[in-house]
Amino acid sequence: MSSTIFDIETSPLDEATILARVKPFKPPEPPGEFCEASVKTGNLKDPVAAYSAWQVAKNNLVYDSCESEKETSRLILEERKQLKQHEDAVAKVNAKVEAARAKHTIEVVAFKESTDILEATWKANAIDKAALSPQTGELLAIGYRVELKDDQTPMQERFSEFEILQGFWMRYAEIRKSGGQMIGHNIIHFDIPFLIGRSWAQGIEIPATVLKGRYIENQTFVDTQQIGETVYGAKLELAYLSQMYGGPGKPEGEDGSMFAETLKTDPQRAKEYLINDLAMTEVVAERMGLV
């Protein structure tokens, strides 16, 4: 049985396309307009009404005319007292209202700033994860290794995405027909769904045997991560498994998110990165008895 190891490299689409296709940003509820009536003033509430009530009571007073001078003096003092209490109450209510207004203003400013931060974070996350979805990413390269030898690494420096996808499905059909296997790490949950999604986007018909209902066929496709999960009880990274088995790890300071830029500036280095991914997969597949 022949075995072909493969790995794909992807990149984000342009920013406008990414933001148009991801789940829209939903800002939190704003503080709303300031409402003076909602300010809690406790016992100080409505001092005008309290003062007016005292004025009515004063006008209804009946007193002995013989004591008019004394009573008048008492009423003057009482009125001054009530007026002072009224003025103090109004001042305290106004102070509470202004404090609440200032707090609301701060909340509005903080809301705007926090919303801007949340939106910027949403945008950064959308762009950062774009290369992981066929909706927001594109295929840049596929590397193959057949019978433990480097085969070819078609990349977008020489081939279009359309051509790379067509070549993959042609290779798949030939391998399946011969009873061979296509081996990769995390291919069932990433590589194959990505290739299918990009093929649909490009108008490329995929072989009828690839999907069985909603599931990807596992007669031809063999996923080393799934096998590792069965044994270790966790989805382990390719570099971790490779190094655990004595193989290479990722080049220091490099990861898949840098591939697109490296492909532009140093195509040979990008190819070496992809070949290293194939070498790691080979070590894992060989230890698992797949090649």
Q: Tens of pLDDT along 233-260?
A: 999 999 999 999 999 999 998 888 899 9
Is the pLDDT at 47 greater than 60, yes or no? no
Residue 96, pLDDT score:
84
Residue-wise pLDDT for 84-135, tens only, equals 777 777 788 888 888 888 988 888 888 889 999 999 999 999 999 999 999 9
Residue 150, pLDDT score:
58
Residue whose token pair is 């300031």: 34
Residue-wise pLDDT for 166-220, tens only, equals 999 999 999 999 999 999 999 999 999 999 999 999 999 999 999 999 999 999 9
Residue-wise pLDDT for 13-44, tens only, equals 999 999 999 999 999 888 888 888 888 877 65
Give the dihedral of Cα atoms 291, 151, 219, 242; nearest 10 deg.
50
Residues 6+ apart with CB under 8 A from 139: 8, 9, 10, 156, 161, 164, 165, 194, 195, 198
Kindly report the pTM of this predicted structure.
0.77
**What is the CATH T-level fold of the domain 3-13+135-287, as seen in this structure?**
Nucleotidyltransferase; domain 5 (3.30.420)
